[in-house]
Amino acid sequence: MKFFISRYSTKMEDNPLWLVVLSDIMTNLMLFFLILYVFSLQGTMESQAAFANGFDKEHAQEEKEKKALEVIQKFEEADVAKKLAEEMARAGIQDMAEVQMTEKQIKINIAAPVLFASGKAGLSPLSSEILGAVAKVISRLPNDIIVEGHTDSIPIRSGDYNTNWQLSAARADAVVELLAVKHGIPQERMVAAAYGEYRPVADNATAKGRARNRRIEIIVSRK
């Protein structure tokens, strides 16, 4: 009996009961915190997925609205081109003015004699009226505008300007100033460009060709 108690006591001393219980508690705690960690990760992943999904929906909605505005803009530009042609016809200058619309621009080509006296850059009351009709239509669009001055290749021998380039620059400036000051088109939307005789659309060897080359082009860029 004494021998048995002695062996039992030795075993208890080597492996105390509290250590077994503590090991069980530590194991359970580790499992508990591991479960909490897994759940926290799952919540983060779900939150990230929900955020990404919401962002995608918002981005898709923005793209739809952008495309809708682009379609509306194209219809508006087409209507402007149509109205410009009507205004040219109403002014009785359809034979000396042309409206063209391409994928990138709306171009109003007006023969210089309609707007200016020979060798001059001053706008007459009639030319102001014609440009006023143009301004009324193109002001509906927020697009940028380039006003180009062009001449034929006959050298200037008298008058206020020494070269065709100077004449074309003065005419383009006069149109830009009229559109801005009298018709309220913002100056920051407009650019005046002078090309003189260097961008002909017809043969300068003929009177008919030279007449076509003397022109003002008002170009409305298409966004």
In tens, the pLDDT along 152-206 reads 999 998 888 999 999 999 999 999 999 999 999 999 999 999 999 999 999 999 9
Lowest-confidence segment of 60-64, 96-100, 147-151 by average pLDDT: 60-64
Region 51-77: mean pLDDT is 66
What ranges do the domains of the chain cover? 2-52, 72-221
For residues 211 and 33, the model is more confident at 211
**pLDDT surpasses 80 at 223:** no
Q: State the SS3 of the chain.
A: CHHHHHHHHHHHHHCCHHHHHHHHHHHHHHHHHHHHHHHHHHHHHHHHHHHHHHHHHHHHHHHHHHHHHHHHHHHHHHHHHHHHHHHHHHCCCCCCEEEEECCCEEEEEEEHHHHCCCCCCCCCHHHHHHHHHHHHHHCCCCCCEEEEEECCCCCCCCCCCCCHHHHHHHHHHHHHHHHHHCCCCCHHHEEEEEEECCCCCCCCCCHHHHHHHCEEEEEEECC
**pLDDT surpasses 90 at 22:** no
Region 115-132: mean pLDDT is 91
Q: Which CATH class is domain 72-221?
A: alpha beta
pTM: predicted TM-score of the whole model, two decimal places:
0.69
